[in-house]
Amino acid sequence: MTSACRTRQAGFLFMNMLRVAIQSKGRLNEESLKLLKDAGIEVDDTKRKFIGKASNFPLELLYLRDDDIPGVVADGSADMGIVGYNEIAETGADVNVVRKLGFGRCRLSLAIPKTVDYQGLQWFEGKSIATSYPNVLRGFLNEKGISAEIRQIMGSVEIAPAAGIADAIFDIVSSGGTLVSNGLKEVESVLESEAVLISRKDLPEDRLEIMDSVLFRIDAIQESRGKKYVLMNIPTAKLPDAMALLPSMRSPTVMPLALEGWSSLHSVVDDASIWQTVEGLKRIGAEGILILNVDKIID
Ligand code: PRT
Ligand code: ZN
């Protein structure tokens, strides 16, 4: 009997349950829940407490502060987690990063007062730097051979230079707006981050199948991102020209139309170049062009 058999989805009696830790509130909460929803996993978020069970999948959610997620996955209290890569880098948690998720993008950067004439990393020699990410910063400074004092503070890092707490900061930057409004400028980008899906290293055998199912669904969602499905009617003689306009096309579908000399051509096209592609297709005689959203792509 496979674990899938033991997992009686219809009856909501799950002997094997995958426990996934996500942020309880904050920047990654909404996107994490949306990802699970897109993957067809229904969690009643309105009654959110510490733990929430999916109604149609053998999975339960642990709602935690992001700082706690790497640790609970590393020690096996949760099987998987969704957290910013910056937290993994800082904690050095012994987990597997199984997927990059494409949201919560940011970077950990060094920033200094905007009036400083910055000539390079040597500026930091002997300076003090305020941060909530001392381990990542220490690693970077050691690698570059810079000796600076690291002042760990837990919040409002960006006010440290103006408050006389430190000469510089090392903090998360996204748009850069917070730095500007605090009279700072970003001078070194040290670590690129985005939300990642992590798993414990010793995931029990009976939960592997459930994790594979989650990964399969997430891959289908990610594969479809930035893609459109295009259908058109085109003179059969123009098919080679149409193919040349669709370099990203995989396994094009070509079907003859009832009207002699015409074909129907279907393809998946990158969203970024959709208008350019469609204009080109129109110029070579394509008609009745339909552009559709792609929900999931299963390779
Ligand atoms: O309560 P809990 O501990 O769970 O949450 P938190 O307050 O520690 O974290 P939260 O919700 O602020 O961020 C969660 C994760 O989102 C981070 O660990 C990053 O992986 C990611 N992320 C993406 C960001 C940002 N963008 C971001 N801009 N985290 C924080 N910021 C902050 C940053 O600290 C700075 O104060 O936003 C400010 C800078 O933003 P810009 O756009 O002005 O540059
Ligand atoms: Zn936090």
Q: What pLDDT is stored for residue 47 in this prediction?
A: 57
What does the pLDDT average to over 186-210?
Answer: 96
* Integer CA distances (angstroms), 201 to 38, 62, 72, 134, in order: 26, 18, 12, 25
* Ligand 1 near 27 CB (within 6 A): yes
Ligand located closest to 182 CA: 1
Burial of 24 (0-12, 13-18, 19+ CB in 10 A): middle
3-state secondary structure at position 295: coil
**Model confidence pLDDT, tens digit, residues 63-97:** 999 999 999 999 999 999 999 999 999 999 999 99
Query: Is 44's pLDDT higher than 80?
Result: no
Structure confidence at residue 191 (pLDDT): 98
Give residue 6's pLDDT. 43
Q: Average pLDDT for residues 172-193, to the nearest whole number? A: 98
Q: Which residues pair with 152 in a beta bridge?
A: 131
CA 55 – ligand 2 centroid, Å:
28
Q: What is the pLDDT of residue 299?
A: 75
Q: What percent of the chain has pLDDT over 90?
A: 81
**Using an 8 Å Cβ cutoff, are 148 and 127 in contact?**
yes
Domains, in order of start, for the chain: 3-104+195-224 (3.40.190.10), 106-192 (3.40.190.10), 227-293 (3.30.70.120)
Tell me the pLDDT tens digit for each residue of 116-139.
999 999 999 999 999 999 999 999
How far is ligand 2, taken at its centre, from the CA of residue 63, in Å?
A: 13
Q: Does the CB atom of residue 84 touch ligand 1 within 6 A?
A: yes
Q: Which atom of ligand 1 is nearest to the CA of 65?
A: 4
Query: How many A from CA of 71 to the centre of ligand 1?
Result: 19
pTM score > 0.95 for this model? no
Angle among Cα 169, 170, 176 to the nearest 5 degrees reads: 90
Strand partners, 52: 61
Q: Is 175 in the pocket of ligand 1 (CB under 6 A)?
A: yes
- Cα dihedral across residues 18, 21, 27, 29: positive or negative: positive
CA of 64 to the centre of ligand 2 (A): 9
